[in-house]
């Protein structure tokens, strides 16, 4: 473990020293630096499959077991995946600002079976999962995408059918950097909890536009009406753009007008949310004065966007009825705005709202924002980025156990 910790420390120092922007003095956020040696056990020693130290059916070990507390644990994406940093201040000026399609950051989150899954741009998949072997905690797993993922952008991260493995779609984005790369092949990658790497996937709707024929698929989403929409582009003598719709990704898509494609990306009305979520979101909108929310939930194929049909900030939210055994409530909604103002709402067995508690995520440096939120058990995870216009510098995620989530 000590050797791995030294490697991670050396990498963090290298990131700081290689920065091209001047460091800011006195920016350390020492009030949020916990006992990191006690809070996280890095690089657990390998154990043979079937060992009592591993949970059943677990084929890979976590790269870290997180035991979050009242002080946050910070992780930043680096060339070799997430690395632990002592405070968020250590992320300032530690990465070059580059256009977002080419920057490592969490592009999309999904939730399933008590886990949080992240599709990380230019990297691969990250899984956060309850860990009970040798003590309580959250296992941090990484499925690295390798060289192909480093050259392309994540366009989508969805669950094609209920119970099916989540799939990420890669594409070549040349909007900011005019690189002449071919479309990625394979471009569909499935997440498998039992594998240390993504596996190539196939969906007939998308396969009809072969990368070998020059087709680049740069968007895939599911509308509130239940249809899948995707867009294919090809550069030949002139650029071809085709927008399509399919009832199932196992079937061939049908062409639709571009306006229909754009309409499918608009937020759904709040009335379209499941009844319990609708009531909880209405409470969150009122508390924040918010106008819309992007929601991650085990019940959805991907994230869904709901609008209150009014002006106001957009919230990032997490909704789940997949709760730890013995939980004193039946459903949970977490919501946060980009500054870290957050809200926890719990519902009882009969769908009544039992509690709504406001809390604050740890403060971020100027120019940083929170971009997503979720929970594994009673540990809250929030993704963050350093943003300037269309560029991203440092990016990563944070883990903390807020008292508001543990309280009934």
* Band of residue 194 on the pLDDT scale cut at 50, 70, 90: confident
* Band of residue 408 on the pLDDT scale cut at 50, 70, 90: low
Task: Inform me whether the pLDDT recorded for 276 exceeds 80.
Answer: yes
Strands (E), 17-59: 40-42
Task: Inform me whether the pLDDT recorded for 56 exceeds 90.
Answer: no
For 21, other C-beta atoms within 10 Å of its C-beta total 12
Structure confidence at residue 90 (pLDDT): 96
Structure confidence at residue 34 (pLDDT): 29
Task: Inform me whether the pLDDT recorded for 41 exceeds 90.
Answer: no
Q: Is the Cα torsion angle 37, 8, 336, 369 positive or negative in sign?
A: positive
Task: Inform me whether the pLDDT recorded for 299 exceeds 90.
Answer: yes
d(CA 158, CA 171): 15
d(CA 355, CA 376): 19
Please work out, in degrees rounded to the nearest 5, the angle formed at the alpha carbon of residue 344 by the alpha carbons of 106 and 408: 135
pLDDT single digits (tens) 122-171: 999 999 999 877 667 999 999 999 999 999 999 999 999 888 899 999 99
d(CA 19, CA 56): 43
What value does the mean pLDDT take over residues 56-63?
A: 68
Q: Cis link prior to 370 (omega < 30° from 0)?
A: no
- CB-based contacts of 212: which residues, under 8 Å, 6+ apart? 185
What value does the mean pLDDT take over residues 89-95?
A: 95
Task: Inform me whether the pLDDT recorded for 57 exceeds 60.
Answer: no
* Band of residue 60 on the pLDDT scale cut at 50, 70, 90: confident
Q: Are 129 and 61 in contact (CB under 8 A)?
A: no
Structure confidence at residue 195 (pLDDT): 86
Of 183, 199, 186, 301, the C-alpha closest to 248 is: 301
Q: How many CA atoms lie within 13 A of 1 on its CB side?
A: 10
Structure confidence at residue 54 (pLDDT): 32
* Global pTM value: 0.84
């Amino acid at each position: 473990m000590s050797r791995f910790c030294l490697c991670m420390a050396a990498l963090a120092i290298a990131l700081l020293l290689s920065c091209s922007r001047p460091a800011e003095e006195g920016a350390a956020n020492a009030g949020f630096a916990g006992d990191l040696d006690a809070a996280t056990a890095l690089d657990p020693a390998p154990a043979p499959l079937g060992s009592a130290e591993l949970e059943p059916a677990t084929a890979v070990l976590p790269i870290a077991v997180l035991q979050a507390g009242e002080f946050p644990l910070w992780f930043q994406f680096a060339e070799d995946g997430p690395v632990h940093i002592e405070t968020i201040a250590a992320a300032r000026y530690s990465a070059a600002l580059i256009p977002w399609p080419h920057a490592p950051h969490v592009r999309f989150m999904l939730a399933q079976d008590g886990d949080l899954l992240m599709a990380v741009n230019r990297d691969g998949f990250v899984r956060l999962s309850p860990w009970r072997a040798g003590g309580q905690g959250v296992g941090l797993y990484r499925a690295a995408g390798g060289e192909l993922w480093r050259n392309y952008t994540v366009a989508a991260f969805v669950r094609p059918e209920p119970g099916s493995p989540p799939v990420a779609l890669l594409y070549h984005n040349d909007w900011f950097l005019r690189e002449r790369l071919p479309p990625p092949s394979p471009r569909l990658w499935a997440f498998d909890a039992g594998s240390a790497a993504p596996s190539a996937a196939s969906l007939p709707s998308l396969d009809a536009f072969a990368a070998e024929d020059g087709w680049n698929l740069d968007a895939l989403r599911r509308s509130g009406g239940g249809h899948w929409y995707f867009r294919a582009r090809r550069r030949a003598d002139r650029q071809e753009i085709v927008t399509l719709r399919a009832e199932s990704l196992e079937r061939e898509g049908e062409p639709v007008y571009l306006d229909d494609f754009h309409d499918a990306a608009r937020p759904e009305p709040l009335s379209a949310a499941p009844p319990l979520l609708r009531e909880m979101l209405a409470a969150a909108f009122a508390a924040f004065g918010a106008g819309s929310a992007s929601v991650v939930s085990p019940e959805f194929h991907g994230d869904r966007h709901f609008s209150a049909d009014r002006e106001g900030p957009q919230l990032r939210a997490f909704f789940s009825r997949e709760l730890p055994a013995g939980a004193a409530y039946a459903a949970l909604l977490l919501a946060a705005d980009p500054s870290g103002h957050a809200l926890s709402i719990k519902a009882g067995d009969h769908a009544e709202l039992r509690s709504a508690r406001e809390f604050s995520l740890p403060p971020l440096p100027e120019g940083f924002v929170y971009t997503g939120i979720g929970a594994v058990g009673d540990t809250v995870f929030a993704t963050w980025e350093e943003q300037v216009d269309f560029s991203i510098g440092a990016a990563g995620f944070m883990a903390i156990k807020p008292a508001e989530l543990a309280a009934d």
